[in-house]
Amino acid sequence: MRTINLMSPVGISEREKLIAGLGASRAAFLAGCEGITDVQGRFKPAPDRWSIEECVEHIALVEKGLLKRLSEEAIASERVVRPARQVELRKMAGDRTTKRQVPERVRPSGQFGSLQKALEQFAANREKTIAYLSACEDDLHARSIVHPIGTMTCHEYVIFMTTHTLRHLDQIGEIKKSPGYPA
């Protein structure tokens, strides 16, 4: 899995680190998709595998859904800081050896019509996430969200958002290395 270096100057807040992580993973994801042609974007390494365009569509849909859950469904909870859970989430999202089934609502269907439009939608959705976190005054350690992988604090949830993007960037890298990938 790709990692984002969040070595920050002393004094940078946890929220600023989360926002920086979201920005860095967005930049890495978009850079990883630069120069991909429409033909390359639609290439599937196998009939049961996603194309790059489908990966990007999935990420755009997930980003929108995760922001909705973060902004509308998070509930007040006991303040907890769990560094071990944060590490676990980073590892879990980055582990491509375990394939996961995605809910229908975030399964690619071609709704954006092109790789470029899917990338634009992801970038716009991520910008909304960053804007929300920049304006939100809630203690992210004292709000929680129930997710299929378990209940997590909003702070942990944002870590998951960052690493989920990187997980699919790794998947895109795998597709590019697949036999038959168009030149």
| 153: β partners | 144
In the prediction, which pLDDT does 12 show? 63
- Structural domains in the chain (count): 1
**Ramachandran assignment for 12, one of left (phi > 0), alpha (psi -120 to 50 degrees), beta (any other):** beta
Give the dihedral sign, CA 104/28/137/155: positive
| 128 belongs to a structural domain | yes
8 part of a folded domain = no
The domain in which residue 92 lies consists of 14-96+103-176
**pLDDT score, position 100:** 75
Say which CATH number the domain at 166 has.
Answer: 1.20.120.450
Report yes or no on 9 lying in a domain: no
25 within domain boundaries = yes
The pLDDT, as a whole number, for residue 148 is: 82
Which tokens belong to 8?
Answer: 């920050």
Q: In this structure, is residue 3 part of a structural domain?
A: no
**Spatial distance between the Cα atoms of 168 and 64, rounded to a whole number of angstroms:** 16
Asked whether residue 86 is assigned to any structural domain, the reply reads: yes
Residue 5 lies in a domain: no
**What SS3 string covers the chain?**
CCCCCCCCCCCCCHHHHHHHHHHHHHHHHHHHCCCCCHHHHHCCCCCCCCCHHHHHHHHHHHHHHHHHHHHHCCEECCCCCCHHHHHHHHHHHHCCCCCCCCCHHHCCCCCCCCHHHHHHHHHHHHHHHHHHHHHCCCCHHHEEEEECCEEEEHHHHHHHHHHHHHHHHHHHHHHHCCCCCCC
* Mean pLDDT by groups of 10 residues along the chain of 183 residues: 45 86 96 96 96 98 95 94 90 76 90 97 98 94 90 94 93 96 94
The reply to whether 18 falls in a domain is yes
Q: What's residue 3's pLDDT?
A: 46
What pLDDT was estimated at residue 91? 84
